[in-house]
Amino acid sequence: MTFMKTLLASLFGFILAATSAQASFHLWQITQLYSDPTGTVQFIELTNGNFDGENLLMGHTITSNTNSYTFPSNLPFNTANHHCLIATPGYVAITGAPAPDYVLSTNNFFSVTSDTINYAGVNMLTFTAGQLPTDGVNSLNRAYNSTTLFVAPNSPTNFAGDTGSVSPPPPQSAFSRKVHGGAGTFDVALPLTGNVGVECRSGGATNDYQMIINFATSVMVGDAVLTSGTGSVSSFSVSGSEVTVNLTGVTNVQVITVLLSNVNDGTLHGDTSVSMGVLIGDVNGNGAVNASDVSLTKSQVGVTVSGSNFREDVNANGAINAVDVAQVKAEVGTALPP
Ligand SMILES: [Ca+2]
Ligand SMILES: [Ca+2]
């Protein structure tokens, strides 16, 4: 019996040794996932341990819960400590990041909310709601042979070792702009970090707003979409370093986020977003409409609309009067969601 066990153990050991000496595919692990908020720009990075001959990917698959991709070719033989980059066509479109080794057949290969990525049936990475960053900058990571997920700035690395990042040009400032009749055009500042700026003016019959986003230098922009909140982008335009996004159907009492995708300044490329609180009547911009807003508006009745009191012209008609006071009163009790 002992002899049999020993014999079996030796045979098994022999088979293992023979397998690991042969070229294979099964020691790659999923170590990084990146997605922009729309799922257009996505990459999956695999990492190998100290193993050569893990190059036979052809015919194996990488899958999400909804999509599957079959590797059409193999990698070079010397795979030890290499990375393998698999990315969407949307990633390929933003030049400046390292070229992927494999291009997936579709954008939105995996869900931006929760999904399981399965590499060739030998390595999986599951993420649940809230785990995958979609801020355009960070990715979901884990070290080789570790199950601990962590968030870090995206760092795609391809087989050749080229590394970089999906990195959008950072906006310098953003505003919500309205024309106040004959009194002029006035902008509510939209801070890019910290608490959102609060737009307190009404959007008229169709709840229209206009967001201005400024960059340091001239940019090209692929698209502008609302990624959070109720409303939609009716049009957008770019003039040098200034992007104008026209919004419609933006309901009151919410925070909206506008995403500019594929922003390109010639050096940096990626997606960037700006958020805005919409709370009609919150003339002091503290996130709630109450008696303070009513008295502030009353105090400006009859005063010429200027840069210092335009928020009290809540209907943006160029005059501060009883109509504005009534509109603020009507909104008392509303507040932005925390
Ligand atoms: Ca207030
Ligand atoms: Ca008014």
**95: pLDDT confidence band, cut at 50, 70 and 90?**
low
Structure tokens at 274: 């700006």
The pLDDT-based confidence of 22 (bands split at 50, 70, 90) is: low
Q: How far is the CA of 156 from the centre of ligand 1 (A)?
A: 44
Give distance in angstroms: CA of 288 to centre of ligand 2.
Answer: 20
Report pLDDT digits (tens) over 99-147.
999 999 999 999 999 999 999 999 999 999 999 998 888 999 999 999 9
Shortest-distance ligand to the CA of residue 202? 2
Given this chain, do its domains 21-153 and 173-331 carry the same CATH topology? yes
* Distance from Cα 119 to the centre of ligand 1, integer Å: 52
pLDDT at 268 over 70: yes
Ligand 2 centroid from CA 314, angstroms: 6
Q: Which of 281, 283, 228, 237 is nearest to 259 (CA)?
A: 228
CATH of domain 173-331: 2.60.40.1220
Cα-to-centroid distance, 316 and ligand 2 (Å): 5
Question: Between 324 and 167, where is the model more confident?
Answer: 324
**Residue 27: which residues within 8 A CB-CB, separation 6 or more?**
48, 49, 51, 54
Ligand 2 center to residue 323 CA distance, Å? 6
Tell how far the Cα of 322 is from the centroid of ligand 2, in angstroms.
8
> In 3D, which of 269, 290, 268 has the Cα closest to residue 279?
290
For the chain, give every domain's residue range: 21-153, 173-331
The whole-number average pLDDT for the span 273-294 is 97
Q: Which fold, 21-153? A: Immunoglobulin-like (2.60.40)
In eight-state DSSP terms, residue 4 is: H
